[in-house]
Chains A and B, each alone.
Chain A
Amino acid sequence: MAFIELQNVSFEYPGGFLAVDDIDIRIEQGENVAIAGQNGAGKTTAVKMCNGLLRPTKGNVIVDGINSKERTTAEISRVVGYVFQNPDDQIFHSTVLSEVEFGPKMMKMPAEKAKALIDYALRATGMYELRDENPYNLPLSVRKFVTIASIIAMDTKALIFDEPTAGQDLNGTIRLRNILGELREKGKTLVTITHDMEFVADNFSRLIVMANKKVVADGSPKEIFWDFPTLLKAKLKQPYVSRICNTLSIGSNVISMDDAVSAVKDGMAAHDSA
């Protein structure tokens, strides 16, 4: 059994709006998965069911072998941490430090372990220097790292990041990449929702695509970024380097800068020998 399993899951918001329609997702322990897809596709709704913030109105969500029906939201959130799309839905303390301390405190972790985790979380996210600041005095892009730190500090087996790349600059994006790398080395199961196609191409070997309440593709970025019907359906685009190679008809599975350089060189060599 996979670490996170959504089995024939649907979700209807109170009031009757169906946001997720009969989806199946399986994520193995230690996997690092991206989710992309059009605005309103149901991405946030789907992942909120993985950590118990929302309960499926149909189907089953199984986390670490236990059906979410048999656990409280507090129990599930000790296994799967969720970083909100809007940091302001998550933050409610008046300093960065107290925000990050909250999770370990709630989980009644031994003091020493908690301290080490909090320290690690603050440093990994670059929030250590800002620990005495009020989160609301920090820009949105930085507040996002405060929320990431507070989930890392809980040391859950799985972590879900909802649009962490939004509004990040070059260094913020690199910092995210490093955080994902470190957590992966620790064996965490990671799910990242993002609209940044380059970030997907550079950091993930598996991409789940959602459109219109459904999962419409699940595979490697190399496949999906050259699967035009799927891109169209989910309102995604190829990474820029892929677009260029596509127009120039060189390299039909290029998704990275290095791939593109090789494709151009191969193209030149082919021309020379022609």
Chain B
Amino acid sequence: MGAIIELNNVTYSYPLANECAIKNVSLKLEEGRFYGVIGQNGSGKTTLCSLIRGFAPSFFRGSLTGEVLVCGKPTLDYKPGELSLKIGYVFQNPFSQISGVKDTVFEEVAFGLENFGVPVDEIEERVIRAVELTGISALAEKNPYELSGGQQQRMALASIIVLEPDIMVIDEPTSQLDPEGTESVFEIIKGMKDRKKTIILVEHKVDLIAEHADEVIVLDKGEVIRFGSKDAILSDETLLECGVQLPNIALLGNKLTRSGVPLERIPITEQQGVEIIGKALRTRSWCK
């Protein structure tokens, strides 16, 4: 099975920038998988998203070496607008995603489908579902500019999931959300994955990446410093040195180990934590 997204030795710098925002990155991402992208502020996460959806360099200009392939074809060879049918993108800043031309939340969420020429009946059905999933049904008639911060972010996500693109690139969709809303976003993503979508999610909340992602990509100063299995990557305290938080359960696991509590391995999710720490609790131990 071929990769749906492939970066071959990609280096990219923005116009006039002294440093490369992405350096020597090679990645193969497979169809239907959920990739969590983490890394400290300024490490290149959003730039990686822009490269995948062709916005770098087509919109930002700048200089690109190496190649980015989507479905086997270099992003540079796609016609303008063609990639945006394949790849849905949720902006990092929910406040800047509002179209500004629609008077209600419902119309705003319908906007993209309208542009794609989807029949009216179908638009309505899909929009109703998207606003339901994101918990904003009750706000459908409100003006997009009269929403709270978290409500705006929910609307931004709804506007993209409604399009059902094959690839979803989602840049920090939960930054303004309450804890329950944050978990529901991950449920929505799980649903998209079940429908064979490929998900690339940038997120600072590593606890939820540990819980839900298939694989993890860690960026630092434009380079991919870790890629692969989340258990190995997210339990390793050296990640902290790159300014990346570990899941709370992994922090606890490491702390317990250091204070003499023997754990069979470092847990990264709540469920692993319950199992592994639970086992230690039931083991007759070493000292009083």
Contact = CB atoms under 8 A, between A and B. Distances in A.
Interface of A: 13, 15, 17, 36-40, 44, 85-86, 88, 139-142, 163, 166-173, 195, 197-198, 234-237, 239-241, 243-244, 247-248, 250, 257, 260-261, 264-265, 267-269, 271-273
B78 interface: no
Interface in B134-149: 139, 146-149
Across the A-B interface, the 8 shortest Cβ-Cβ residue pairs: A39-B150, A240-B248, A235-B180, A237-B179, A167-B175, A166-B175, A169-B40, A170-B245
B176 A37 contact: no
B205 to A, nearest CB: 9
A195 B96 CA distance: 21
A269 B178 contact: no
Contacts of B96: 88
Chain B contact patch, size range: 35 or more
B149 A44 contact: yes
A269 to B, nearest CB: 6
B281 interface: yes
16 contacts: A39-B149, A167-B41, A167-B175, A169-B40, A170-B240, A170-B243, A234-B178, A235-B181, A240-B249, A247-B274, A248-B278, A257-B255, A261-B261, A265-B261, A268-B283, A269-B288
A166 B92 CA distance: 11
Contacts of B278: 248
B178 A236 contact: yes
Interface string B151-192: 100100000000000000000100111111111000000000
B93 A38 contact: no
B18 interface: no
A248 to B, nearest CB: 6
Given A239-B248, A271-B281, A88 B95 contact: yes
A235 B95 CA distance: 23
B155 to A, nearest CB: 11
Contact of B277 (A244, A269, A271): A244
Nearest to A40: B148
B115 interface: no
Nearest to A140: B93
Contact of B204 (A38, A167, A271): A167
Contacts of B288: 269, 272-273
Given A39-B154, A264-B256, A171 B243 contact: yes
